[in-house]
Amino acid sequence: MMKNNQLSPAKKSAWQGYTLEELQYARMIALTRIEIEKSKLMDVAESTRSNLPIIGTASSMGSVFKSISKLEYIIIAFKLFRKIAPLFKKKK
């Protein structure tokens, strides 16, 4: 004879679900774990990036370009134009 796998009404569990506080706590724990993993990934990415010379050079070049003012860009462009312009003059 096979047993009936369904619980009879008398044997139903008395568990009524999670309370709001329990759900909020579980959510907080999950979000904290996500932030910890993000932090770990950012640390690994930063250490990897700092160990690669090409990317480190590019980031240092980016900081140089950020420190140049608009006036300095104009001066650099003018100097480049003066050196390149003779190449494009028509020859008679």
Report residue 9 as tokens.
């009404």
The structural domain count of the chain equals 1
Q: What is the mean pLDDT of each run of 10 residues along the chain (92 residues)?
A: 55 85 95 92 82 59 69 85 81 61
Domain assignment of residue 2, yes or no:
no
Domain assignment of residue 4, yes or no:
no
Domain assignment of residue 49, yes or no:
yes
Q: At what angle do helices 20-51 and 53-67 cross, to 10 degrees?
A: 100
Residue 59: Cβ within 10 Å count: 13
Domain assignment of residue 33, yes or no:
yes
56: domain range? 18-88
Query: Is the separation of the CB atoms in 49 and 55 below 8 Å?
Result: yes
Per-residue confidence (pLDDT) for residue 87, from 0 to 100: 79
Cα 63 to Cα 71: distance, rounded to the nearest angstrom: 17
Query: Is the separation of the CB atoms in 29 and 21 below 8 Å?
Result: no
